Amino acid sequence: MSLPSGTEPRIVVCHSAIQQLGPKGEDEPKNSANLALMPFWLDPKVNKNGLQAGDNIEFDLQTDWDTEKPVLITAIKKLGERDKADLSCP
């Protein structure tokens, strides 16, 4: 994960495929490892305190393909050591 910066206002997340995320309800494209590296808009109300680049997180998404920010992270939770996923994005 990388956090928003002055030049990139979105959060970039390495994640497993998200079912039915596409604008017509289609599944997200997958690579051979079933992982994706993707930027998401972050709702300004989301608390980023304590998050650092490289943290493993769990997040909630809201999708509205008719808006300027069609895929928006609305909640974020840093995972503890025991809950970490073993993801390695290309």
How many domains are there within the chain?
Answer: 1
For 32, the domain range is 11-83
Say whether pLDDT at 12 is over 80. Answer: yes
Say whether pLDDT at 45 is over 60. Answer: yes
- Give a yes or no: residue 1 inside a domain: no
Tell me what pLDDT residue 75 has: 93
Q: Out of 2-6, 16-20, 53-57, 61-65, which region has the weakest mean confidence (pLDDT)? A: 16-20
- Give a yes or no: residue 20 inside a domain: yes
Q: How far is CA 62 from CA 28, 30, 40, in A?
A: 15, 20, 10
- Give a yes or no: residue 50 inside a domain: yes
Tell me what pLDDT residue 74 has: 92
11-16 and 57-63 beta bridge pairing? unpaired
- Give a yes or no: residue 89 inside a domain: no
User: What are the b/e assignments for 50-86, b being 16+ CB within 10 Å?
Assistant: ebeeeebbebeeeeeeeeeeebbbeebeeeeeeeeee
pLDDT digits (tens, 9 = 90+) for 46-60: 888 888 888 888 889
- Give a yes or no: residue 4 inside a domain: no
